[in-house]
Amino acid sequence: MKYIIVGAVAGGASTAARLRRLDEHAEILIFEKGEYISYANCGLPYYIGDVIKDRNKLFVQTAAAFNKRFNIDVRVRNEVISINAEEKTISAINLITGAVYSESYDKLVLSPGAEPIRPPLPGINNEGIFTLRNVNDTDYIKSYVNNKTTKKAVVVGAGFIGLEMAENLHHLGIEVSIIEMGNQILAPLDFPIAAMVQQHIRSKGVKMYLNTVVSGFEKTNNGLSVLLNNGNTINADIVILSIGVKPDTKLVMNAGLKIGDAKGIYVNEFLQTSNEDIYAVGDAIEFVNPITNQAMITYLAGPANKQGRICANNIVLGNTHKYNGAINTAIVKVFDMTVGAAGTASKNLHKANIAHVVSTTHSGSHAGYYPDAKQMTIQIAFSPTDGSLLSAQVAGYDGADKRLDILSGVIKSKGTIYDLVEFEHAYAPPYSSAKDPVNMVGFVAENILQKRLSIFYWNEMDKIKEEDLLLDVRTKEEYENGKIQNSINIPVDEIRNRLTEIPKEKNIFIYCEAGLRGYLAQRILKQNGYMNVLNLSGGYRLWKNCINESIN
DSSP symbols for 211-275: S--EEEEEEETTEEEEEETTS-EEEESEEEE-S-EEE--HHHHHTTPPB-TTSSEE--TTSB-SS
Q: Do 88 and 104 form a contact (C-beta atoms < 8 A)?
A: yes
321: left (phi over 0), alpha (psi -120 to 50) or beta: beta
Crossing angle for the helix pair 10-22 and 301-317, to the nearest 10 degrees: 30
Q: What are residue 393's DSSP bridge partners?
A: 341, 379
Q: How far apart are CA 527 and CA 513, in angstroms?
A: 23
* CA quadruple 30, 31, 32, 37: dihedral, nearest 10: 10
Q: How far apart are CA 283 and CA 264, in angstroms?
A: 8
3 state DSSP class of 102: strand
Q: How far apart are CA 87 and CA 89, in angstroms?
A: 6
How many CB atoms within 10 Å of residue 163? 26
> Which residue of the set 42, 311, 512, 546 is catalytic?
42
Residues in the chain: 552
Q: In the annotation, is 42 catalytic?
A: yes
3-state secondary structure 283-311: CCEEEECCCCCCEECCCCHHHHHHHHHHH
CB neighbour class for 199 (10 Å; exposed up to 12, middle 13-18, buried from 19): middle
Q: How far apart are CA 45 and CA 142, in angstroms?
A: 10
Angle (nearest 5°) at CA 118 between 116 and 119: 145
Q: What are residue 153's DSSP bridge partners?
A: 176, 238
CA–CA distances in Å: residue 86 to residues 104, 257, 278, 320, 357: 11, 12, 11, 25, 51
Amino acid identity at 66: F
Q: How far apart are CA 376 and CA 112, in angstroms?
A: 38
Catalytic site positions: 42
